[in-house]
Amino acid sequence: MIRIQDLNKISDYEWEIPKSYRQDMRVAVRLFVTRRLLEAALQDLSIEQAINAATLPGVVEPVVVMPDMHQGYGFPIGGVAATRYPNGVISPGAIGYDINCGVRLLASTIPLEAAEERLDDLANALNHYCPSGVGSEGSIHLTTAELDAVCRQGARWALKKGMASEEDLRRTEENGCLEGADPAKVSQRAKQRGMAQLGTLGAGNHFIEVDVVDQIFDGEAAAAMGLQEGMLALMIHCGSRGFGHQICTDYVQDLQSAVRRYGIQLPDRELVCAPLDSPEGQNYLAAMRSAANYAFCNRQILAYHARRAFEEVFAGSGLRWQLHQVYDIAHNMGKVETHEVNGRKLKVCVHRKGATRAFGPGHPELPDAYKPIGQPVLVPGSMGTASWVLIGTEDSMARSWGSTCHGAGRVLSRNKAKKDFRGERLRNELEQSGIHVRAGSMSGLAEEAPMAYKDVDEVVETVSGAGIARKVARLRPVIVIKG
């Protein structure tokens, strides 16, 4: 097992594991952590998993790990790995089971003090319109043809159904639709799971929150996003539901034979992979993009229902209740991107698993409103704690594959959290602190206890101190909807 003395300290926020640490490493591993967070990370296998990823065929230096890292399937949550395109590999485990799990933020001009008497009604309305919980189903039941259309069109499918605006799509990563999706590469089992789950939140760490903008750190960036101190905002955190999970499950199995066929040596079979230019790699990419588009559409429909809830509660109040979209960004995704490596443009497949894309100012893929400031980065905290809005920087492009953190990061497993905490007590504590809570189950609430996570403020301070993101605003929750 690796020890602190095996790492090179670059700064108070950055450490490196040289590729000489282990004979099979092809590249170094860069960790954006404080010493305290590093010591915590050494308690699980997350750093060992990052080292294993540094052995993948075609991997490009460095493999990057964020301060919210924790152990995942094959590759740490909070990890970023880039492989050469098209002759490197793609690994489902380095993207994750919840493909395109991500976050959407909408802003309002409703002052908290004017809304406080209506927050309980708003919590009930959001809980009614946005189904949550394990296996939850919504009001949309898709035919196979409709599901295939969602896979190809992403959030644009919701636009055609009157549940989105062009401005919503402009302020969504990839305009809410990845090209190259092919539902023919998705199993019937995955399709069956996806037909009734569109427009649902799910369970686990997924949530809908109403927040108040608590503090502004960058006035120019906040103004560009429409964020104002003291005003309400709405955050949605969810992904591709059982549809994406089944796709990952299918391809983790399918690619086992590809590893043998192409003679790939792996230190951990959970890092199962295939060459990007192989039929197996191309099939997974097409299926993964289908799940990603499903997730973009899912968050768009949830945003539509959240707007219905706001209208129901605030229409006739004299308040301008409309919610405008700030941004929608994924943090479990594999994307083919062009990055500068040693002064040359290089096309790579960037695996981000529990890591957020964080493109800097001027990037051509950003909407016009954000080109001057950089891409919004949405970092939810643990339940009942602060969330953050950051922006990408030139340093994130140069040092972390245009990526930064995605949240607080677990320190306790779900089972341990359920043993240590009681959902009823936790709900009462949150309610006493002024947070309106709606939860599908008390055990699910216990899994997401704030004490089961790292301090999101420390995580944000680390990426900010390292220069791979910049603070814009801090949000404080007033309503939490959990599955």
Positions marked catalytic: 406
How many helices and strands in the chain, by DSSP H and E? Answer: 16, 19
Beta strands in 342-435 (DSSP E): 344-353, 356-357, 376-379, 387-391, 403-404
387 annotated binding-site participant: yes
The answer to whether 357 touches 403, Cβ cutoff 8 Å, is yes
237 annotated binding-site participant: yes
441 annotated binding-site participant: no
209 annotated binding-site participant: yes
93 annotated binding-site participant: no
Token output for 212: 């108040």
406 annotated binding-site participant: yes
Report the alpha-carbon distance of residue 252 to residue 452 in Å, rounded. 28
Beta strands in 164-275 (DSSP E): 207-216, 231-238, 274-275
298 annotated binding-site participant: no
* Kind and range of the H or E run holding 220: helix 219-225
The answer to whether 120 touches 380, Cβ cutoff 8 Å, is no
Q: Positive or negative CA dihedral for 284, 286, 290, 293?
A: positive
- Residue 403: how many other CB atoms lie within 10 Å: 30
- Residue 57: how many other CB atoms lie within 10 Å: 17
Radius of gyration (C-alpha) of the chain in whole angstroms = 21
Token output for 214: 């608590």
208 annotated binding-site participant: yes
The answer to whether 38 touches 8, Cβ cutoff 8 Å, is no
128 annotated binding-site participant: no
409 annotated binding-site participant: yes
Pairing verdict, β 231-238 and 387-391: unpaired
Q: Please report which residue ranges of 270-409 form alpha helices under DSSP H.
A: 279-314, 394-399
The answer to whether 306 touches 106, Cβ cutoff 8 Å, is yes
* Kind and range of the H or E run holding 80: strand 77-84
Token output for 314: 């605030």
408 annotated binding-site participant: yes
Geometric angle at alpha carbon 227, from 222 and 229, rounded to 5°: 100
161 annotated binding-site participant: no
Annotated binding site for GMP: 205-209, 331-332, 380-383, 387, 406-409, 482
Annotated binding site: 98, 205-209, 237, 331-332, 380-383, 387, 406-409, 482
Annotated binding site for Mn(2+): 98, 206, 237, 331
